[in-house]
Structure 1
């Protein structure tokens, strides 16, 4: 199934291209990985997960208190403006301004798998 079709029911990621999103996600690899924590927490299994809840990762108090549960809408807001969405977060990235890039990135993250043998994580 084409990536765009597989994300047709993902809310904010309705027109996301997961393959393009994977290319955009490569920018995140300076701090994040899919299956394990780096400077930032792992990115697989984000959807439905409460922000600040990956066991063993040292989140900022702001992220732990945020009350965010990750879905297409909350990811879109956070990816657009991390510091504005969660003041006090330690994520020092300015955000992704382009709405289509965010939509594509969210489509990729929705498909990201946590099994270690998954290659790129999809």
Structure 2
């Protein structure tokens, strides 16, 4: 099963910090997915073994969806005051939950840990 563009963006945002390398092509994403230009508040939650490992949310829609996901993914992984920064091992084992606060209501999607997805592929 493929990962949605929004969840992939959240994963890529965290991975950029872990690898200390810029990999997200914002211009290309905005051209390919114009919805990412809309101002939508988000929440990004990280879970390891079904337990919260980090969280960050926007109270108001002041950034584009693209920038809000990038910001909240990095904040939840590395700057949640309740947790130490996430490690690469934790990143590979974490589930990501993305909540979009739209005028129609809250939309939610989750992404399984990378390692559990990889295990399914090789078995």
Asked if Structure 1 and Structure 2 have the same fold, meaning a TM-score greater than 0.5 normalized by the shorter chain, the answer is: no
**Structure number with higher relative contact order (C-alpha < 8 Å, ≥ 6 residues apart):** 1
Please report the TM-score for the alignment, with normalisation by the length of structure 2: 0.27
Please report the TM-score for the alignment, with normalisation by the length of structure 1: 0.27
